[in-house]
Amino acid sequence: MSLDLSLTESEEMLRKTALDFIKRDAPKSVVQKLQETDTGINSELWQTAANMGWLGIIIPEKYGGTNNSLTSAGVLFEALGSRPLPGPYFSSGILSSLILLEAGAEDQKTHFLASISRGEETLTLALTESGYSWEPEAVKTTARAENGDFILNGLKLFVHDAQASTYFIIPARTADGVNPVKSISLFLVSSKSKGVSVRRLPGFFAGRYFEVKLDSVMVSPKDVLGEINHGWQPLEHAIEKSIPVLCAYKVGGCQFVVDTAIEYSRTRIQFGQPIGRFQRVQDMIIEMVNHADAARWTTYEALWKLDTHRPAAESVHLAKVVSSEAYWEVCTLAHRVFSGISYSKEHPVSFHTRASRALYHYLGDPSYHRQRLAKVLVP
């Protein structure tokens, strides 16, 4: 039997390098400042990540990447999630790169994937709108053909990493057809284009959400990604592949919060004993551990299935449901274990709480993926 749940030697090395990087280059003090910025990055961190090959971790070598498996990307993002490190590492290096690989023409891939790997261009997907949903029916933004160009109008809401991005991938309607899957096209839109405006949304999610307005934005036909009217299918494939990598980021967050809470319950003395001796505290810690482990193994199984080209839809939905709920719940429980001190904006758990909220809906929330899962299980 080939069952083996160990990391390979190179994955183990990647994990160690990434954790060292977090410790050395992205300590708590740095990340606390970064999460208050519009971009979530600084140029030193971004350049280091590019030099390490992490921005192009799943991009084939011929396009300037390091051509790793999704599992390796998962290992990297688990480490980045342990802080959690903000910034467009996932939206550009994973999600947008996968969309380009699925839908891009050769010259688009050559240019953009190499630029993404080097950290020169940063891309993000701007799909969701005011009727928040990850289904094609919710895309209302239009792209009207005019004098050989396209004119985009619409509003994209709860977009991740918009301020840090140089380009947006915009799904928009190019036909009135009743079937939304056959009437959506993908556009590469420069953030500097006339008519594009980006606004950071205030709120309890550490600056990760933006509104992007498209007011008669002109896009050249060379910046159409894939076939006109047939943008949805490659987009959906790319999202499916990217989800478990995002889940791994949450796994890293869960594990950090669990480890920190266990350590605290061993050392925090109340009523003359470590609080971990109290069974009510143990109940919470055990629930946290159960969530974190369920998130870990559903995530890595999904990554393994994708890497080995097995049917993965069930596993991807499962991982997204379990890891999103796990990250949210683990953080909620941690506030009960830590109590007062964890409400400090300097407390590492509070970083995770905000991230767990900000990433809960990203690429579909648990209730959406439950629905999708049900459709796979009981067609």
Q: Does 377 bind other proteins (CB under 8 A)?
A: yes
Three-state SS for 162?
coil
Q: Does 285 bind other proteins (CB under 8 A)?
A: yes
Please choose, out of 125-133, 196-204, 234-242, 288-296, the segment that lies near other proteins by the rule CB under 8 A.
288-296
Shortest Å, Cβ 28 to other proteins: 24
Q: Does 313 bind other proteins (CB under 8 A)?
A: no
Shortest Å, Cβ 294 to other proteins: 5
Q: Does 373 bind other proteins (CB under 8 A)?
A: yes
To the nearest 10°, report the CA torsion of 204, 206, 208, 210. Answer: 60
CA distance 226 to 379: 29
Shortest Å, Cβ 283 to other proteins: 7
- One-letter identity of residue 218: M
How many residues bind other proteins (CB under 8 A)? The answer is 42
Q: Does 309 bind other proteins (CB under 8 A)?
A: no
CA distance 55 to 118: 7
- Taking residues 314 to 343 in sequence order and writing x for each that binds other proteins by CB under 8 A, - otherwise, the string is ----x--xx---------------------
Closer CB to other proteins, residue 172 or residue 322?
A: 322
Closer CB to other proteins, residue 5 or residue 178?
A: 5
Contact 189, 219 (CB under 8 A): yes
- One-letter identity of residue 61: E
Instruction: Select from 68, 62, 59 the least CA-distant residue to 119.
Output: 59
Cβ count within 10 A of residue 317? 26
Please choose, out of 52-60, 109-117, 148-156, 278-286, the segment that lies near other proteins by the rule CB under 8 A.
278-286
Shortest Å, Cβ 370 to other proteins: 5
Q: Does 270 bind other proteins (CB under 8 A)?
A: no
Half-sphere exposure of 41 (CA within 13 A, CB side): 22
Q: Does 289 bind other proteins (CB under 8 A)?
A: yes
Give the one residue of 16, 62, 199, 266 binding other proteins; rule: CB under 8 A: 266
Which residue in this structure is represented by tokens 């928040």?
132
- Looking only at the bridges linking them, the beta strands covering 196-200 and 209-219 are antiparallel
> Which tokens is 253 given?
């967050």
Q: Does 276 bind other proteins (CB under 8 A)?
A: yes
Q: Convert 55-107 into a string of H (helix), E (strand) and C (coil).
A: CCCCCCHHHCCCCCCHHHHHHHHHHHHCCCCCCCHHHHHHHHHHHHHHHCCHH
Q: Taking CB under 8 A as the criterion, which residues in 87-116 touch other proteins? A: none
Closer CB to other proteins, residue 235 or residue 349?
A: 349
Shortest Å, Cβ 5 to other proteins: 4
Shortest Å, Cβ 6 to other proteins: 7
- Looking only at the bridges linking them, the beta strands covering 269-270 and 273-274 are antiparallel
Instruction: Select from 242, 95, 109, 230 the least CA-distant residue to 168.
Output: 95
Which residues in this chain contact other proteins in the complex, by CB under 8 A? 1-7, 71, 262, 265-266, 274, 276-277, 279, 281-283, 285-286, 289-290, 293-294, 297-298, 300-301, 303-305, 318, 321-322, 367, 370-371, 373-374, 377-379
